[in-house]
Amino acid sequence: MSVLNAIIIGLLMGIVFGFALEKSRVFEPGMIVGQMQLRNFTMLKVFLTAVITGLVVIGLMHGFFGGKLHPKALLYGANIFGGLMLGAGITLAGGCPGTVLAQIGAGYKDSWLVLLGGLAGALTFSYLEPTLKPILLSGGPGKLTLDTVTDVPFWVLAFGFAIVLVIVLVALERWRPWQADLGANYDGMNE
């Protein structure tokens, strides 16, 4: 793939992602904090939809079109510590790397601080990485994937998990409809 094609595909994916963020309202700080407090499940539903889509596309590419998987190594320290730090930061800031530009575009003034904080955190980590590397990048089984552990083809697992997640998504939507989470004026029309 040429660099130009990669840029075009990246821009198109960014446009689709931004459109989905805006329409679902999951970029709003209140929506993000509500998800972290388990009061609002719209964000979870949107991300489950993305995971289902990804499973189907990657399953098709791997199972039928020769696509290759390149998993990263499972590192307990990095995954647990990094996940906790990211989750705490998202909850405190009401924003994350994927939503901060949408927040800036929507006019949330505090989102500039979230962006600067994220950049400062990345810069700080880059300086601390040599010290943290022995702690965070050790203690894991390496490249561990479910298809190698179970000896079941990846595409079968991907489609199976996609079906299970669709069932979870439907049950979640029946339990908490998205209109209830977004409020009575979810469509922007005054009644």
Tens-digit pLDDT profile for residues 92-101 = 988 888 889 8
- Band (pLDDT 50/70/90 cuts) for residue 143 is confident
How many secondary structure helices (H) and strands (E) does the chain include?
Answer: 9, 0
- Residue 96 is predicted with a pLDDT of 85
Calpha distance 121→89 (Å, rounded)? 10
- Residue 184 is predicted with a pLDDT of 61
What's the first-to-final CA gap in the chain, in angstroms? 50
What's the rounded mean pLDDT across residues 133-157? 84
The one-letter amino acid at 87: G
DSSP state of 139: S
Q: Given a cut of 90, is residue 142 above it in pLDDT?
A: no
Whether 42 and 24 have beta carbons less than 8 Å apart is answered as: yes
- Percent share of the chain, pLDDT over 90: 31
Calpha distance 164→56 (Å, rounded)? 12
Calpha distance 20→116 (Å, rounded)? 24
